[in-house]
């Protein structure tokens, strides 16, 4: 006998079916979901998020069968990577099928596909029976949400039903991989760094004896949505890479931040409201997996602590592949790098 659907999942499904948006927990960050076949709802994602239409959305699926309905080419490498990393924090960018409207892919011939591991996300997608388009559930350019409370605080004035799925276990967004398969060879690029790193991908392909090539350079066209600034907390964050005292950080920030433009690529740059008096250090665990889990919640907490400025100190222990995804976020969240 089929298990009866949990009341919250049923409510979320009904809202999605009615063309409304749902805050969906995933293991990376919470998403703001709509059915891919209800375009008014998809459009609503961009409106509510204040997100420009050139930034494509990820399509979330609950099975490989369903993934095959949104792409025109499911090759051996895609299957190997799905076997190794799905459900989980890996998005594969593959050729778009006509079932995915161009509004979702920002007019690109490709579509980002991911099978989330969070049981509530899986249940919801299964219940709806149609893939869900979902970006991270934050206003454009701001810090991504890793708890249901974060999502609620972000969309206080919008009609968004948020599923309570606890704190996100990964904590930073999925790795986005552009994958092309030609003559039985996989050619891939990492468009966004995340928990799954390049060497994990290479190891999986090697083990399955899939010949591959890694391409470093990717054109802006293939990697839209990669603005200089993103994930910004409500007060300025400074990424400190050099040996500086707290006073030196304050002095440099006072000078440089006021000279910065107010807006860069549509994202508002955070500047101190008053003279900088209280500054707070963002501290993260030394283990990269734990640090990613803490990152966004700690950024939000520091921003709400009454401080004028947050700083994060880069240390030699951070110089390894597993920290790259975190530094990608910190670099974009920072108003200034010293």
Residues that bind ligand TXA (CB under 6 A): 26, 28-29, 31, 55-58, 91, 93, 105, 108, 110-112, 114, 116, 134-136, 173-174, 176, 191-192, 222-223, 225-226
Nearer to ligand TXA, 143 or 253 (CB): 143
* Residue closer to Mg ion (CB basis): 79 or 223: 223
Residues 326, 318: Cα–Cα separation, whole Å:
9
From the list Mg ion, ligand TXA, none, pick the one residue 26 interacts with, judged by a Cβ distance below 5 to 8 Å according to partner type. Answer: ligand TXA
Task: Give the residue among 107, 104, 115, 132 at the shortest CA–CA distance from 46.
Answer: 104
List, in sequence order, the alpha helices (H) in the chain. Answer: 7-17, 39-49, 64-68, 76-85, 102-105, 119-128, 148-154, 198-207, 246-259, 288-303, 324-333
Task: Identify what 325 binds: ligand TXA, Mg ion, none; CB under 5 to 8 Å per kind.
Answer: none
62, 136, 189, 335: residue in contact with Mg ion (rule CB under 5 A): 136
| Half-sphere exposure of residue 114: CA atoms within 13 angstroms, side-chain side | 27
Closest approach of ligand TXA to the CB of residue 76, in Å: 21
- Binding at 93: pick from ligand TXA, Mg ion, none (beta carbon under 5-8 Å per type): ligand TXA
Q: How far is the CB of 323 from ligand TXA (least distance, A)?
A: 18
Q: Candidates 52-60, 128-136, 253-261, 328-336: pick the segment binding Mg ion (CB under 5 A).
A: 128-136
To the nearest whole angstrom, how small is the minimum distance from the Cβ of residue 43 to Mg ion?
18
What is the phi/psi pair of residue 329, to 5°?
A: -70, -45
CB of 329 to ligand TXA, least distance (A): 11
Comparing CB distances to ligand TXA, the nearer of 13 and 96 is 96
Alpha-carbon dihedral of residues 281, 282, 287, 288, nearest 10 degrees?
A: -140
CA distances from 64 to 74, 213, 277, 282 (A): 9, 24, 53, 39
Residue 91 in contact with Mg ion, rule: CB under 5 A: no
- As beta bridge partners, residue 136 has 31
Q: How far is the first Cα of the chain from the last one, in angstroms, to the nearest whole number? A: 61
Q: What is the CA radius of gyration of the chain?
A: 20
Please choose which of ligand TXA, Mg ion, none residue 175 contacts, taking the beta carbon within 5 to 8 angstroms, the exact cut-off set by kind.
Answer: none
Residue 270 interacts with Mg ion (CB under 5 A): yes or no: no
Q: Which of 138, 282, 115, 314 is nearest to 196 (CA)?
A: 115
From Mg ion, ligand TXA, none, which one binds at residue 189 (CB under 5 to 8 Å depending on kind)? Answer: none
Question: Using CB distances below 5 to 8 A depending on partner kind, what does residue 141 bind out of Mg ion, ligand TXA, none?
Answer: none
Contact residues: Mg ion, CB under 5 A: 136
């Amino acid at each position: 006998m089929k298990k009866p659907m949990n009341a919250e999942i049923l409510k979320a499904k009904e809202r999605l079916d009615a063309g409304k948006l749902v805050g969906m927990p995933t293991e990376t960050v919470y998403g703001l979901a709509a059915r891919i076949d209800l375009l008014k709802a998809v459009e609503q994602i961009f409106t509510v998020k204040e997100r420009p239409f050139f930034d494509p959305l990820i399509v979330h699926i609950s099975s490989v069968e369903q993934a095959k309905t949104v792409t025109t080419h499911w090759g051996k490498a895609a299957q190997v990577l799905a076997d190794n990393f799905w459900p989980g924090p890996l998005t594969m960018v593959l050729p778009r099928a006509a079932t995915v409207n161009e509004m979702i892919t920002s007019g690109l011939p490709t579509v980002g596909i991911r099978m989330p591991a969070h049981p509530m996300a899986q249940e919801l997608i299964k219940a709806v029976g149609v893939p869900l388009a979902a970006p991270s559930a934050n206003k454009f350019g701001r810090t991504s949400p890793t708890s249901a409370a974060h999502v609620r605080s972000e969309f206080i004035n919008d009609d968004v039903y948020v599923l309570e799925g606890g704190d996100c276990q990964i904590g930073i967004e999925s790795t986005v991989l552009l994958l092309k398969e030609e003559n039985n060879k996989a050619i891939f690029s990492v468009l966004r760094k995340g928990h799954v790193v390049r060497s994990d991908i290479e190891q999986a392909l090697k083990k399955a004896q899939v010949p591959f090539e890694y391409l470093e350079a990717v054109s802006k066209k293939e990697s839209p949505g990669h603005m200089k600034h993103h994930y910004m907390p409500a007060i300025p964050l400074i990424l400190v890479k050099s040996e500086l005292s707290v006073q030196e950080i304050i002095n440099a920030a006072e000078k440089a931040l006021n000279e910065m433009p107010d807006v860069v690529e549509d994202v508002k740059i955070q500047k101190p409201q008053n003279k900088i008096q209280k500054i707070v250090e963002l501290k993260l665990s030394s283990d990269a997996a734990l640090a990613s889990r803490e990152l966004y919640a700690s950024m939000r907490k520091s921003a709400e602590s009454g401080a004028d400025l947050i700083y994060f100190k880069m240390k030699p222990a951070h110089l390894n592949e597993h920290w790259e995804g975190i530094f990608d976020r910190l670099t974009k969240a920072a108003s200034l790098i010293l």
